Every structure is written in C-alpha cells, then in structure tokens.
Amino acid sequence: MLGSILCILSYLIYDLLLGVILFITGLLGISIYFLLEVLRDTVLKRNSFILVITKISIILMCVTIFSKYAHQRFFDYPTLLIVPGFIIISAVYIITQKQRYPKIIASIIVFTLLLIPMFGVSFLNSPNSYFLNKRHPRFNITGEFEVALPYKYKNDNVLLLRNRAFKFKQRKELDSAVSIYRKAFTIDPENPVLYFELSDCYAKSDNLEKAISLMDSAILIDSYSSVFYNNRGLLYYKSDSLYSSLKDYSAAIFYDSTNKVAYANLALVYYDLDNIDKACECIRKAESLGLDISKAMRLLKIKRNNCE
C-alpha cells in the first residue's frame, strides 16, 4: 500500500516515462488493495457503513484520477458525482470515525492533492496538460496573446464578434467564446482566423480531436500557412501522434524556413523518436534564428546532455 502511494508521488517528481508507469502502477495497486478490503468486509459482514463507503470512494477515485491525468474523457460525467462525493465522504470519515486507519488517511491526502489541478483550471479540463507541459514543454503560438495573421474580415461585425470571443477566451470562459465564434462563422465561414482561434478554444478544453479538425479546415482554406501547420503539429504532439506532428512541423518549416518556433517543436519530436542528432540540429537552427531557449527547461536539458 505504501509502495503504491510512493509510486503516485513519483509521477510528480520524475521527468521520465518511468514516472508515468509508476503513477499508473500506484493507482492500480491502491484500487486492488481497497477492492479486496471491500470484498473481505462484505463477506465477513464487518466494519461500519461509512468505512466501507470510504473505501469504495477511494476505488472510484483511482479510475477518476487515471481518466483525467491520462487525458481520457470517458469518465467526465461520473467524475461530476464522484469527486464531490469523495470530498464529502472523506470529511465525514475524518470527523466521525474515532479509529482512523493510516492507509485510508494517506490515500485521502494523496487524492486530494491530485484533485487540486482540476480545480485550478476548469473542472472538466484534464490536469494532464500541467504535467505534460512539465515533461514536454512546447513553444506554443496560441494562448493568451494574439497571433498576427494576414487575413481580412468580411465586415466590421465579424471583427467585433471575433474580438469579443477572444476576450472570453483570454478569461478562460470557453463556452462563451465558442458560442460567439460560431456566430462569426455564420457571417464569415471562410475566414481561417476563426478556425484557428476556435481550435485553440477546443484545445484548452482538451477536445483535441475537434481542435485538430478545425485546424484541418483552416489549412484547407490556406494550405501555405506555416503558422497553421505548426499549430496542428502542437495538437498532434499533445495527442501523442508523433509522426503526424513531425510531418506538420516539417511543413511549417517548408513554408517558412525562418520559423524558429517550428524548429524548437521539431527538436522535441525528434528527441522523443530517439533521433538525437536531428534534435540537436533543430535546436541549433532555432537558436541561430534568434530563439531564446533559456526558459525552455526540456530543450536546455536536451542540449546540455546531448548536444555539447
């Protein structure tokens, strides 16, 4: 049991695939342990009701934490009930039980810590993005700033709608942003900027499939945009489609050989594919184009350990 908890904590420490493996192993170990405990309590007809319910809530939390951190959406709706239920049941257990079992208390503390990132952004957003960025930081051209794209809007009303939607996106009010972008689409359906920015909204909501689909549409409208290929490459990379990401970053560089961000992103893909020489070559190229990687810890680590 203690080993399972240590495995989970290792996920927050290791900058390696080993951390993820240990994390999953820890969740599996905890769920099996408490499942056997519940079965034994049922067969022997012992222990209080609140104790059994607490153990069941911990088992359900193992599935919930896995689904959110592994970037899986299959458990989103059950999570809306399981998480508040776990919090309430845990509080009742701690307050009412005179004999508190260390293993249960330790599990409650660990899962409570793992819940914090969920509430730090949006409840249905996977906290996986925090830990992916920790292990695989990327240079992103989207986010909380505007990207200058050379496209005109059909009329001033479209521009006003776009600006309103962008402000909602900045405030992370994504549902409102999506709704307004959709209104802009009804007036200007061939504007790739709208596809680009709406894709970012879905990416922030962890709906990568929809985000990629919207970037596909933007690229169909303008198949020569280095920015579009780079951004779709980011989405593929986040969804662990390395070869698709590699193809898009290469296309971004083909259409703009000065795209230093695409070179940096490409370096990470090559490194993940164990092509160290290519990764180093891309890092050197990105720096030669003026990219400062001093705050990109993973690129710095790759460079120091492999390129010098």
Query: What's the alpha-carbon Rg for the chain, to the nearest Å?
Result: 23
At 72 the pLDDT is 57
pLDDT value of position 230:
94
- Ranges of the chain whose pLDDT falls below 70: 1-21, 46-47, 69-76, 117-150
**What is residue 110's predicted lDDT score, i.e. its pLDDT?**
86
Q: Specify the pLDDT at position 70.
A: 63
pLDDT score at 24 = 78
3-state secondary structure the chain: CHHHHHHHHHHCCCCCHHHHHHHHHHHHHHHHHHHHHHHHHHHHCCCCHHHHHHHHHHHHHHHHHHHHHCCCCCCHHHHHHHHHHHHHHHHHHHHHCCCCCHHHHHHHHHHHHHHHHHHHCCCCCCCHHHHHHHHCCCCCCCCCCCCCCCCCCCCHHHHHHHHHHHHHHHCCCHHHHHHHHHHHHHHCCCCHHHHHHHHHHHHHCCCHHHHHHHHHHHHHHCCCCHHHHHHHHHHHHHCCCHHHHHHHHHHHHHHCCCCHHHHHHHHHHHHHCCCHHHHHHHHHHHHHCCCCCCCCHHHHHHHHHHHC
Cβ–Cβ < 8 Å for 104, 55 = yes
- What is residue 139's predicted lDDT score, i.e. its pLDDT? 42
pLDDT at 45: 72
Are the beta carbons of 218 and 199 closer than 8 angstroms?
yes
- Positive or negative: CA dihedral 256, 257, 259, 263: positive
The predicted model scores a pTM of 0.56
